[in-house]
Amino acid sequence: MRATGVTVYDGRVPDAPSYPYAVLYPDVGMLTPPMLTNVSCELTMTLYVHAVGTTRDQAQWVAEKIRDALIDVRPAVTGRHLWPIRQDITRPPERDDTLPAVVVFDQVATYRLRSVPASAA
């Protein structure tokens, strides 16, 4: 994923992050049977994105950059048919006062990616 001008961390934020940034938390996905079959081969994955900034505007700017980089993208995976990435939810930025050195704002959004084996498409 390319989000121009945004630092992106994969599941772990360093002790001294570069603000603003995004941190991504992908899940392993859920297998379910598609319609008209009993074989669990449809994979739905959720990507949790935290857009973080030292101001509300920074967090929203990061969230927009990530959304623009992900929405409607159809990744290519050998042996799988994928639908375009869709956004499920987004929350407004929330102030987080728990860090000792800085106040940050965190805006969370989730994105969904669905796929089936290419032979089932």
- Which CATH number does 7-120 carry? 3.30.2000.10
Q: What is the mean pLDDT of residues 65-85?
A: 95
Residues 73, 75, 76, 81: is their CA dihedral positive or negative?
Answer: negative
The pLDDT value recorded for residue 2 is: 60
Residue 74 has pLDDT above 60, yes or no: yes
Sequence-distant (≥ 6) Cβ neighbours of residue 2 within 8 angstroms: 69
The pLDDT value recorded for residue 14 is: 93
What pLDDT digit, counting tens, does each position of 27-41 carry?
A: 999 888 877 777 788
